[in-house]
Amino acid sequence: MSSLSYAAPTTVDEAVKLLAGASGLAKVLSGGTDLLVQLRAGRLKPDLIVDTKKIPGIIGIRKGSDGGFVIGAATPGAEVEANAELNAAWPGIVEALDLIGSTQVQGRCSLAGNLCNASPAADSVPALFAAGAIAVVVGGKGKREVPVEQIPTGPGRTSLGKDEFILEFKLPPRGARSGDAYLRFIPRTEMDIAVVGCGINVTLDEKGVCTAARVALGAVSPTVIMVPEAAQVLVGHTLDADTLAKLDAAAQAAAKPITDKRGTVEYRKKVAGVLARRVAAIAFDRAQGKTNGKAH
Amino acid sequence: MNYVASDLKVVGTRPVRPDGVDKVTGRAVFAADTRAAGMLWGKIKRSPHAHARILSIDTSKAAALPGVKAVVTAADFPDIPSEEAFVGEGPMNFRDLALNVMARSKALYEGHAIAAVAATTQEIADRALELIDVQYEVLPFVIDVEAAMAPDAPILHDDLFTAGVNPKAEKPSNIAKVVTFKKGDVEAGFKDAEVVVEGRYTTQPVHQAYIEPHACLASYQPDGQVSIHASSQGHFMVRAYTAKLLGMDMANIRVNPAEIGGGFGGKTLIYLEPVAVALSKKAGRPVKIQMTREEVFRGSGPTSGATVEVKIGAKKDGTIVAAQQVLKYQAGAFPGSPIGPGCMCGFAMYDLPNVDVVGYDVVSNRPKVAAYRAPGAPITSFAVESAIDDLARKLGMDPLTLREKNAAKNGTKTHYGPVHQNIGFTAVLDAVKAHPHWKTPVKDGQGRGLAVGFWFNIGGESTATVHVNEDGSVTVATGSPDIGGSRASMGMMVAEVLGIDVARVKATVADTASIGFTHLTGGSRVTFATGMAATQAAEKVVDDLKKRAAATWEIPVEAVEWKDGKAYPAGSNAGAFEPLDLAALALKAARTGGPIVAEVSVNAQGAGAGFGAHICDVSVDKETGHVTIERYTAVQDVGRAIHPSYVEGQIQGGAAQGIGWALNEEYIYNAKGQMENPGFLDYRVPVASDVPMIEAVLVEVPNPRHPFGVRGVGEVPIVPPMAAIGNAIKSATGVRMPDLPMSPPKVRAALDAAG
Amino acid sequence: MPTVHFSSGSGCQAFTGGQSEVEVEATTFRRLVLELEQRFPGLGKQVEEGMAVAIDGEIFQDAYHAELKAGSEIYLIPKIAGG
C-alpha cells in the first residue's frame, strides 16, 4: 500500500502544525479538483494530505467590517455563484469561477485551489487579480495579508511557505459606478483550458470616464499577470475607438505567451488584444448599470 | 422485401430502448465491470520512442517483485509467418496484428506494446512496469504521410516493397501499395472541359474517441479452456484473432459479449486479449486489462491522416466531364489504411464519364490505423465536396443544382466498376430542396454549406435464433454485439413478424459457444444482415406455430392463418375454432412436436448503399477564428427505419463526429514523435454545447433485398460534415479552408492572409 | 463469355502480367475463380481471399454460387469493410 496519510484538522493551528511537521510532501486539500486529478495521473505523490474544509470560516461568504465581501478559501464555486449579492457586485469574478471545468467540478472547486494550483491559465485568477482581492494567509509566523497577484510565482508554484495556506479572500468594498468582467477564449464552448483569459475591473465617473482600472491577462505568461500599461490606457478616458485600439495594443505587448498544444504565440497575442477590448466593453457597461446578461 | 409499410404495426414505432435504464443508472455490465475470483491486474509497458530497435528486455526485477504473478514479452507468443487471411473485418495480416499487439524487434510508434505484467494490485503492476528494463536503439522517425513517402525517409519495414507498381519494386519503401481506378479517358475529358477547379487538401488523424476504453478479462483454465469477456464489436473476431495470435484452437476459446461504450470501428480488431490470455496462462489466474484513456490514444488505432489532390473539369452548363484524385493515406505502423474505399467513395455519388484516381497506402511511425465509421470516405469527400463547391461558385451555379445535374442514379456505372441499383440519392437531394433549412435565407453574418456522402454498407454472415418460451413470450438471440440499438430492432422485427407486442420479445446477444457464427458489428450490417436472419427465423417460427394449431384443430396446415399473434382457422370451412395465441400454443408445445425454436444463418447479399446530404449554417468570429455551428440538417436515405429514434441517433452521432473532425480534433506531436494531447482535454472532441440540435431527416427508399427494406445507416452520416462546414465557412468569410482541422488559429490566420 | 475487369493496384494485375481485362468461361463465381487460378496461378487465391466482386453491378462479398451469364461484367474491387 502507499504511504499516503490524510488529516482533517479542525483549527488553523492544527493545520499549520501538520504542514510544518510534515517530513515528506504535504498538500492542502480544498475541493480537490486539481489535487485528485494530479494524484491519479501520477504527477503528484504526496505523503500527507491536509484537508482544510473543517476549519471554521474556511467555507462561507460574509461581509467584512469595511463592507467588502470575505470569501472562505475553500468555499465551493457553486456556493459563490449562488450568492446573489456577490453576483450583483462582482459579476466578473462569478462568471470566471463559473467557467472552471463544468457544473460538477464547480460543486467542489475553490478560489484558493484555483489560485494556488498556479496554472497560468486558471480562470478565476485574472478576475480575482482585477478585483484587487487580498489573500489572508495563515502559517507558522501568524496571519498576513497578501495581494492575490503576489501569490503565484510560476507554473505550479506559489510564494506561500511550506506551513502556510490561505484562509480567506477579502474583496474591497464595492464603490459606485464600478464593474468587472472576465472572458476567456477556448476552441470549444465548454470544458477547455483558456487559450487566453482576461479580467478587467473599472470605476467610472458620472460622465463615463474611467477613474480607476485594473487589467489582468491569463494564459499568456508563466503566471497570470497584471497589465498596468493597459489599465493606464483606460484611466481618464471613455471607451472610444482610440482607447480600444490602444488597449488592444497594450494587451498584445504585455502578452508573452509560448506556443504549445493550446495555441501559438502569434495567435495568443492577437486574441489577448481582442479579449481586452471585449472585456473592457462589458466592464464599462456594467459600471454604468447596463446589464447585458452573461458575458460569455 | 415482403413487408408493406402500410401494414407495419411495430417496425417504425419508437418503443423505449431495452438497455436504457441499466446504462443511465450505471448498472450495465461493461467488460471492465467483470470480475473473477483470484483476478489479477494486467498492465502493458509501452515504447516511449516513435521508432527504435529493441536491443534487449530484462524482466527479471519485475518478475521478482512481490505480487507479480506473470510477465510476458513477444517471446511468449508464436512468431507468425506473414499471412493474409480474411477472418473478420477486411484482409488481416496476422503477422502485422501480432507485432502490433506485442512488438518483437522494433518499436514502431510511441505507445507500441513491449511487455506486460499481471499482479495482485494495479499499483504493484505499475511498479513492475517501471522495473522492466528495455534497451532501445532510437532511430529517426517519420509521421507525416508525404514525408514518409520521400526517398530518404526512415524505413519502417525492411521487407515492405510497394505493391501495385510496374516494374516491381526493388527497394524497401514506406509505400505499401498503390491502387488505381480508371474510367474513360480523363485527359480527353479535361481538354473538353470549359471550367476546371483544383485543390489540395490535408486531414489529420483522428481517433474514434469511444467513451469506453478497451478492456478485457481473460481466464485460462488448467484444462486449456479459455474464457474472455471483451469490449469488442465482434466476439467471434476476438475468438478467431486471439486463437491465431496464440497458436491455439478456436474451439477452446469462448468469448462473451459485454455492453460496449462505443466502437465506431476502433473495436473491430484486438489489442489486449492475447496478452491477457498469455498472462493468465502463466499466472494460473484470471487477468483483467483495462486501457487508460492515455493508452487508448497512444496505443490504439485512429484513422488515417491524409493528403488529397483533386481536379474536376466541367462544361459551362455544369456537366462534369473529368474528375481526378491523388490520395495519400497514412496506415500507421503497418500497412492497411482504407485507401481502397478512399479511392472509391469520393466520386461514387456522381455520374462521371472520365475518372482517374490513384491512391497510396503509406506506413509511418504512429499507431496502426483502425477502421472509423465509413473508413476512408470522410477524407476523400472532404476534398471532393469542397472542390465541387468551388466548381459551383466558378460556374455561378447553386451547389444543390450542380449535384442534381451530375447525380448518380439507378443504372449509373461507378468509376470502380459496379453499377448503382435501388439507390435513393435523388430522393435525398429532393428532400434537401424541400427542407425548410434549405429554403430559409441564410442569416446575416452566417454562411451555408452543402455536402453529400456515400457508403457501400455490407451484409455478410449472421445467425439468429428465435424461440418461444413456455409462457408465450419470445426470445431472439443473435451473435451481434449491440453498438447502435440492434437489440431493439431485432426485437421489433421479430415482434412484427409474430404479430405481438414488442414488450413480449426479449433480444439478447449470445456468446461464441451459444450461437452460430456471426460476423462482427460494423459496416452498417447488423440491422440488415442479422435482421434478415432474425426475420427469417421468426417466419419459420410462424410456420411452426401454424403447424401446431393445425395439429390441435386436426385441420390441414394450409387452412391455418397467422394474424396479430394468433392462429386462426382460415375461413369458415376450416372450422369454428377459437384462435390460439402464442401462450396457448406454447403451453402445449411438448404435445405438438416439442420446443418451438428456429435458428437461421445467412450470408446476406444485396446490402443497399447509403447516400446522405448535410446542410450546415455557421457563424465565424472573425477576430478569434471561432466557428459556431448555428444550424445543422442531415438528410439520409435509410431504406426503412425500424426504430426511428435509433436511426436518428446514428445520424446525429456520425454528424457530431464529423463536426469534431472538421473543427478541432488532431494529434499533436512533439519533436520526438510523442503525442502531446492523449486526453479529451486537449484532444478536442465536441462537447454537447458545441453542437446544435442536429435535425435528422429520414428518407426511406426501401432496399428490396431486405424483408423490411433496411439499409445500413450508421456510417454515411460521418462522410459529409467536414466539407459541409468548410463550404459554410467559405460562404461566411470568402475563405476556403483546405487543411483540417479548421481550428480557430487556422481560420484567423486564413482570414488575415486573405486581407 | 463473362468479362472480368481488374483495377490496377488491386494486386491482381501482378498475376495477369498487366492485363486489366480477361474473358473467362464460367457460369458460377466458383468456376470463375478456379479458371482464373488455372490461367494465372495465385490469382484465384488472391481473388477469393482479398477481393469483393461486383457481378453485373451487384457487389458480392463471397458467394460461390453467384451466377454468371454470357455477357456478365465482373469487377474485382477491394473487400469492403466498415467501421
Please state the φ and ψ torsions of residue B28, each to the nearest 5 degrees: -60, 140
The identity of residue C76, as a single letter, is L
Q: Cα-atom radius of gyration of chain A, to the nearest Å? A: 19
What is the percent of chain B where pLDDT is above 70?
99
Partner residue facing A261 (CB), from B126, B668, B690: B668
Chain-chain contact of C11 with B164 (C-beta, under 8 angstroms):
yes
Domains along chain A with CATH numbers: 1-51 (3.30.43), 178-287 (3.30.390.50)
Partner residue facing B624 (CB), from A2, A185, A261: A185
Measured between alpha carbons, how far is residue B316 from residues B195, B390, B391 in Å?
A: 7, 14, 10
pLDDT of residue B575 exceeding 70: yes
pLDDT given at position C9: 54
Chain B residues with CB under 8 Å of A270 CB are 623, 748
Instruction: Label residues A77-105 b or e (16+ Cβ within 10 Å = b).
Output: bbbbbebeebeebbbbbbbbbbbbbeeeb
Q: Which of these ranges, A233-237, B81-85, B315-319, B389-393, has the smallest mean pLDDT?
A: B81-85
Partner residue facing A188 (CB), from B625, B690, B745: B690
> In whole angstroms, what is the distance from residue A281 CA to residue A292 CA?
11
| Strand pairing report for A26-29 and A48-51 | parallel
3-state secondary structure of C68: coil
| Strand pairing report for B626-637 and B610-621 | antiparallel
pLDDT given at position B318: 97
Mean of the pLDDT values across residues B643-666? 97
Q: Cβ(B89)–Cβ(B522) under 8 Å?
A: yes
Mean of the pLDDT values across residues B491-505? 97
pLDDT of residue B90 exceeding 60: no
pLDDT given at position C8: 59
DSSP B413: B
CA proximity to B160, closest of B102, B75, B96, B98: B96
Burial of residue A273, with CB atoms counted within 10 A of its CB: 0-12 exposed, 13-18 middle, 19 or more buried: buried
C and B touch with 3+ CB pairs <8 Å, answer yes
Chain C residues with CB under 8 Å of B524 CB are 82
pLDDT given at position B92: 73
- At A292, the pLDDT band (50, 70, 90 cuts) reads low
Chain-chain contact of B690 with A193 (C-beta, under 8 angstroms):
no
Identify the residue whose cell numbers are 442531415.
Answer: B634
B and A touch with 3+ CB pairs <8 Å, answer yes
Domains along chain C with CATH numbers: 3-78 (3.10.20.30)
Chain B residues with CB under 8 Å of A258 CB are none
Distance from CA of B525 to the nearest CA of C (A): 9
pLDDT given at position A296: 37
- At B258, the pLDDT band (50, 70, 90 cuts) reads very high
Chain A residues with CB under 8 Å of B624 CB are 185, 271, 274
Name the H helices within C1-83: 13-16, 29-39, 43-50
Chain-chain contact of B375 with C62 (C-beta, under 8 angstroms):
no
pLDDT given at position B459: 93
- At C66, the pLDDT band (50, 70, 90 cuts) reads confident
pLDDT given at position B83: 62
Mutate to test the interface with A, among B624, B627, B667 (most CBs of A within 10 A): B624
Mean pLDDT, chain C, as a whole number? 81
Chains that touch A (3 or more CB pairs under 8 A): B
What is the percent of chain B where pLDDT is above 90?
94
pLDDT of residue B482 exceeding 70: yes
Chain B residues with CB under 8 Å of A274 CB are 623-624
Give the count of alpha carbons within 13 A of B355, CB side only.
Answer: 25
Q: How many CB atoms lie within 10 A of CB B430?
A: 15
Chain-chain contact of A191 with B676 (C-beta, under 8 angstroms):
no
Please state the φ and ψ torsions of residue B324, each to the nearest 5 degrees: -140, 145
Partner residue facing C49 (CB), from B86, B522, B712: B86
Burial of residue B21, with CB atoms counted within 10 A of its CB: 0-12 exposed, 13-18 middle, 19 or more buried: exposed
> In whole angstroms, what is the distance from residue B491 CA to residue B506 CA?
6
What is the percent of chain C where pLDDT is above 90?
2
**CA-nearest residue of chain B to A273?**
B623
The identity of residue A142, as a single letter, is G
Each residue's pLDDT tens digit, C49-65: 778 888 887 887 667 77
3-state secondary structure of A139: strand
- At B88, the pLDDT band (50, 70, 90 cuts) reads very low
Chain-chain contact of C61 with B459 (C-beta, under 8 angstroms):
yes
- At A263, the pLDDT band (50, 70, 90 cuts) reads confident
Size of interface B-C (CB pairs under 8 A): 121
Mean of the pLDDT values across residues B282-294? 97
Strand ranges inside B584-676, DSSP E: 597-604, 610-621, 626-637
**CA-nearest residue of chain B to A264?**
B745
- DSSP-assigned states of every residue in B302-326: ----EEEEEEEEE-TTS-EEEEEEE
pLDDT of residue B401 exceeding 70: yes
- At C5, the pLDDT band (50, 70, 90 cuts) reads confident
Q: Which of these ranges, A235-249, B477-491, C14-28, has the smallest mean pLDDT?
A: C14-28
pLDDT given at position C10: 62
Mean pLDDT, chain B, as a whole number? 96
Distance from CA of A60 to the nearest CA of B (A): 31
Identify the residue whose cell numbers are 453498438.
Answer: B483
Mutate to test the interface with A, among B120, B623, B674, B691 (most CBs of A within 10 A): B623
Q: Cα-atom radius of gyration of chain B, to the nearest Å? A: 27
pLDDT given at position A147: 98
Distance from CA of A96 to the nearest CA of B (A): 18
**Max CA distance (Å), chain A:** 66
For chain B, what are the domain ranges? Answer: 5-27+459-594, 34-139+208-299
What is the percent of chain C where pLDDT is above 70?
92
**CA-nearest residue of chain B to A278?**
B623
Distance from CA of C77 to the nearest CA of B (A): 7
Q: Which three cell numbers stand for residue A137?
A: 494567509
Chain-chain contact of A190 with B743 (C-beta, under 8 angstroms):
no
Chain-chain contact of A187 with B663 (C-beta, under 8 angstroms):
yes
Q: Cβ(B112)–Cβ(B49) under 8 Å?
A: no
Chain A residues with CB under 8 Å of B744 CB are 185, 187, 267
Predicted ipTM > 0.90: yes
pLDDT of residue A2 exceeding 70: no
Size of interface A-B (CB pairs under 8 A): 52
Which CATH topology does B5-27+459-594 take? Aldehyde Oxidoreductase; domain 4 (3.30.365)
Q: Cα-atom radius of gyration of chain C, to the nearest Å? A: 11
Please state the φ and ψ torsions of residue B463, each to the nearest 5 degrees: -125, 140
Mutate to test the interface with B, among A39, A183, A189, A247 (most CBs of B within 10 A): A189
Chain-chain contact of B715 with C18 (C-beta, under 8 angstroms):
no
Chain C residues with CB under 8 Å of B419 CB are 54, 56-58
Mean of the pLDDT values across residues A154-175? 96
CATH 3.90.1170.50 at B34-139+208-299, yes or no: yes
Give the count of alpha carbons within 13 A of B318, CB side only.
Answer: 19
Residues belonging to chain A with any Cβ–Cβ distance to chain B shorter than 8 Å = 1-2, 42, 185, 187-193, 261-264, 266-267, 270-271, 274
pLDDT given at position B86: 44
pLDDT given at position B98: 95
pLDDT given at position C15: 76
**CA-nearest residue of chain B to A188?**
B690
Residues 6+ apart with CB under 8 A from A221: A120, A255, A256, A257
Sheet holding A142-147, edge to edge: A61-63, A69-72, A165-170, A134-139, A142-147
Chain B residues with CB under 8 Å of C21 CB are none
Residues belonging to chain B with any Cβ–Cβ distance to chain A shorter than 8 Å = 123, 126, 623-626, 628, 663-664, 668, 676-677, 680-682, 684, 686-690, 743-745, 748-749
What is the percent of chain A where pLDDT is above 70?
98
Mutate to test the interface with C, among B180, B182, B357, B525 (most CBs of C within 10 A): B180
Each residue's pLDDT tens digit, B186-235: 999 999 999 999 999 999 999 999 999 999 999 999 999 999 999 999 99
pLDDT given at position C21: 85
Each residue's pLDDT tens digit, B660-700: 999 999 999 999 999 999 999 999 999 999 999 999 999 99
C-alpha triplet B732, B736, B739: angle, nearest 5°: 125
Q: At what angle do helices B721-733 and B377-395 cross, to 10 degrees?
A: 30
Mean of the pLDDT values across residues B473-494? 96
DSSP B526: I
pLDDT given at position B89: 41
Element of type H or E holding A80: helix A77-82
pLDDT of residue A293 exceeding 70: no
Chains that touch C (3 or more CB pairs under 8 A): B
Chain B residues with CB under 8 Å of C14 CB are 163-164, 168
Chain A residues with CB under 8 Å of B686 CB are 188
Identify the residue whose cell numbers are 483495377.
Answer: C7
Sign of CA dihedral B593, B597, B602, B606: positive
Partner residue facing C57 (CB), from B178, B266, B418: B418
Between these two residues, A263 and B518, which has the higher pLDDT value?
B518
Name the H helices within B3-150: 20-25, 60-64, 94-101, 122-131, 145-149
Mean pLDDT, chain A, as a whole number? 95
Chain-chain contact of B743 with A187 (C-beta, under 8 angstroms):
yes
3-state secondary structure of B502: helix
Chain B residues with CB under 8 Å of C49 CB are 84-86, 91
> In whole angstroms, what is the distance from residue B380 CA to residue B344 CA?
9
Chain-chain contact of B179 with C9 (C-beta, under 8 angstroms):
yes
Chain B residues with CB under 8 Å of A267 CB are 625, 744-745, 748-749
Chain-chain contact of A192 with B668 (C-beta, under 8 angstroms):
no
Each residue's pLDDT tens digit, B533-568: 999 999 999 999 999 999 999 999 999 999 999 999
